[in-house]
Amino acid sequence: MLSLKHIRKSFDREEVLRDVSLQVRHGEVVSILGPSGSGKTTLLRCLDFLERADGGELTLDDLHVDLAHAKRRDVLAMRRRTAFVFQNYNLFANKTARENVMEGLVTARGVSPDEARKKAEEALAWVGLLDKAGEYPSRLSGGQQQRIGIARAVVLDPEVIFLDEPTSALDPELVGEVLNVIREVARRGIAMIIVTHEMAFAREVSHHVVFMEGGRVIEEGPPEQIFSQPREERTRTFLKRYLTDSNMYYI
């Protein structure tokens, strides 16, 4: 469904992505693991054109885009068929929870305000926050904000959602509620690419795991294989460090 080929990106001579290719099938959850600075965030940002790649191709079903030279129309088309969940939520500070979820529907998709409101409230109820519909983000906890961030993504009915470390800005006791919502998204059959350091969660929820380092895909495969029998030495070193750091949240 979604296929990425030969993505390259440099920041001032520093090569951050060196020929990254990746496949995501319908309804599939792909997790990306890797040490800090390996280019995970940059990869997701290139897919949504928040960063301009230097090269690479992207195919989303019938939409075929050259990442480096895409025109406005293709950029908009890609953004309107996908959604993004940010590490620090990025809820619109000038809008209530309900308005945050409605914004993309009304302004980008041209849905009528009444229908958008109905859909937004359904989405908020679905993440368990209908009672906070009228609150501004500044008055919500990180976990609540991120759940609204996910509702804002899901309500757009995207073909794939990109999530960049959706829980890493949260206090440990709030991680669980957000992971539960992401599980629900997976259950709905919406494809996702998740960058995460939650190893146990990645193992449980993903169909496919990708390990990146130094801007390259080092190893990929089904979660059982990556976590139990990694082939590459670098994957093994990375996982060993994470697993001994007691970074395991079983929820």
Partner 1 sequence: MAFHLDYFLASLVSGLAYLPRTLLLVSLPLALGLLGGLVLAAFRVYRVPVLGRLTALGVSIYQGVPIVVALVIYNLLFMSLFNDVAAFFGVATTVAEVDIIWVGIFALALQEVTLMEESFRGAFYSVPAGQREAALACGLTELQALRRIIVPQLVPVAVPMLMNHVVGNIKNSSVVIAIGVAEVLTGASIPAARTYSFLESYVAAGLIYWALATAAEQLIGQWEIRPEARQSSWFWQVCARVRRRRTVTVAQQEKRGQVHAELEAYQKIL
Positions in the binding site for Mg ion (CB under 5 A): 41
CA distance 179 to 158: 19
Q: Among 29-37, 66-74, 109-117, 218-226, which window interacts with ligand ATP (CB under 6 A)?
A: 29-37
For 25-123, strand residue ranges (E) read 29-33, 55-60, 63-66, 82-85
CA distance 58 to 2: 7
Per the CB < 8 A criterion, the answer to whether 60 and 159 are in contact is yes
Residue 52: CB minimum distance to Mg ion, A: 18
Each residue 64-93 as x (binds partner 1 by CB under 8 A) or -, in order, gives: ------------x--xx-xxx-x-x-xxxx
229 binds, among ligand ATP, partner 1, Mg ion, none (CB under 5 to 8 A by kind): none
Amino acid identity for residue 96 in this structure:
T
User: Does 143 interact with ligand ATP (rule: CB under 6 A)?
Assistant: no
Q: Among 39-47, 109-117, 179-187, 241-249, which window interacts with ligand ATP (CB under 6 A)?
A: 39-47
Residue 15: CB minimum distance to ligand ATP, A: 9
Residue 95: CB minimum distance to partner 1, A: 8
When the beta carbons of 10 and 87 are compared against partner 1, the nearer one is 87
Map the footprint of partner 1 across residues 212-251, applying CB under 8 A: none
Place of tokens 């991120």: 146
Residue 104: CB minimum distance to partner 1, A: 3
Place of tokens 């029998």: 229
Distances (CA, A) of 237 to 119, 206, 232: 45, 21, 9
**25 φ, ψ to 5°?**
-90, 170
Distances (CA, A) of 240 to 40, 66, 202, 237, 250: 20, 38, 15, 5, 17
Each residue 90-109 as x (binds partner 1 by CB under 8 A) or -, in order, gives: xxxxxx-------xx--xxx
Site for partner 1, rule CB under 8 A: 48-50, 76, 79-80, 82-84, 86, 88, 90-95, 103-104, 107-109, 136, 138-139, 152, 156
